[in-house]
Structure 1
Amino acid sequence: MNTGWQTQDRFLELHSQWLTVIGEHLQDETGQILEYWRVEKADSVIILPIQNQQLILLPPTYRPGLGEKTLDFPGGRVPEGEKAVTVVPKILQRELGIPAETISQLTPLNSQGWAVNSSFSNQKLFGFVAELQPTVQIPANFIGAIYPINHDSIVSLLNTLICLQCRAMLLEWWFELTQ
């Protein structure tokens, strides 16, 4: 599909292990030259771990962009060449201290991934629900909060979560569950 937009030049490309920042001049369909900035990042995964009809969240983690600790679901980046579904067990091992075989069911919330910020970034967000075996012991130092799965508890959790990605996955899951 020809959008009529053309890249005129790339005046900056800055790489780090976490992201690439790109500055470009683009010509729009009217001929106007515009300066655009974008960030290329690896795709992300957010996982809603459920055990015994309870959502498990991580201990609050410091977020430099906010300058404070936030309560979040487990999540992480999808390395280049891997599929989102293959990183879920690795993330749960790292962030909840549980082996892959303790996941009794893994359900994707979105199979294509959602654009995190389509005008600024190429990053997609994938969500999964991981049903954990009822008897698996999650080490206490890996648990930040536990929320029972009911309306009042989900409303309380939504009032607590700051991360929009975590909120989006929770709302998507809750919407599907209550339909």
Structure 2
Amino acid sequence: MTFSDSPFWKTLNRFVEMRSPWLTLIGEHLEDHHGKRLDYWRIEKADSAVIVTIQQDFFIFPKPLYRPGVGEVTLDFPGGRIPPDTPRENVVREILHRELGVDETQCDRIIPLNPQGWSINSSFSNQKLYGFIVELAPNFNLDSDFIGATYPVDTQGICQLLQDLTCLQCRAVLLELINNYQSLCGF
């Protein structure tokens, strides 16, 4: 059986839809491929961007932030939500300005890692994740008030980063970068 041969479920009706700026909560009655009726709850969110920021062979991280969902401070690449109908590269520039104090003239290159986006799909998260590499101008002095950590872009730095980085989305983007580093960045 191929994916296109898989039986589809039917949406019978939507009995709840609650919208906020951050997410939409949806409750639906579905019928599965066996004719069984199910109550199904899901959350839709705006798509996300994770930005691997590099300057002079170092990964650059903003200050770690407290994450209420996991109850701890975490190291994360710059990132955020992509509002609907907004060019992704514009959002990347806004995120870098907010999280690292970088303006668009200080970005030498913005390279999309996955232009089609990856589906993040479960009942509690329906969105796409877009990864980017941004190379900062080598002569731009980053404001130390924004910088949380740096890691060398070499085998030892990447191995340490993979030990320290707990965010699954950040790790996915980093691993994609590692798999494609030569062809994407020309290094």
TM-score (normalised: structure 1)? 0.94
Provide the rounded CA distance (Å) in 2 between the counterparts of 1:34 and 1:67. Answer: 33
1:156 partnered with 2:155: no
1:61 partnered with 2:82: no
AA partner of residue 113 (structure 1): G
AA partner of residue 35 (structure 2): G
TM-score (normalised: structure 2)? 0.90
Which ranges in structure 1 are unaligned for 5 or more consecutive residues? none
1:75-154 correspondence to structure 2 within 5 Å:
75-118=79-122, 120-154=124-158
Q: If each structure's strand is expressed as a fraction of its own residues, which one has the higher value?
A: 2
Moved over 4 A (4+): none
Provide the rounded CA distance (Å) in 1 between the counterparts of 2:163 and 2:65. Answer: 17
Q: Deviations over 1:75-99 (max 9, x none)?
A: 0111111122221111111110011
Provide the rounded CA distance (Å) in 1 between the counterparts of 2:154 and 2:125. Answer: 35
AA partner of residue 37 (structure 2): I
Provide the rounded CA distance (Å) in 1 between the counterparts of 2:122 and 2:116. Answer: 14
Provide the rounded CA distance (Å) in 1 between the counterparts of 2:33 and 2:120. Answer: 25
Once the two structures are aligned, what percentage of the paired residues are identical?
51
Deviation at 1:120, TM superposition (A): 4.3
Provide the rounded CA distance (Å) in 1 between the counterparts of 2:148 and 2:117. Answer: 27
Which ranges in structure 2 are unaligned for 5 or more consecutive residues? none
AA partner of residue 125 (structure 1): L
Deviation at 1:4, TM superposition (A): 3.4
More displaced stretch, 10-19 vs 156-165 = 10-19
Q: Deviations over 1:69-127 (max 9, x none)?
A: 10111001111111222211111111100110100011111001101125543310001
RMSD of Structure 2 on Structure 1 (CA): 1.6
| Matched position secondary structure for 1:92 | helix
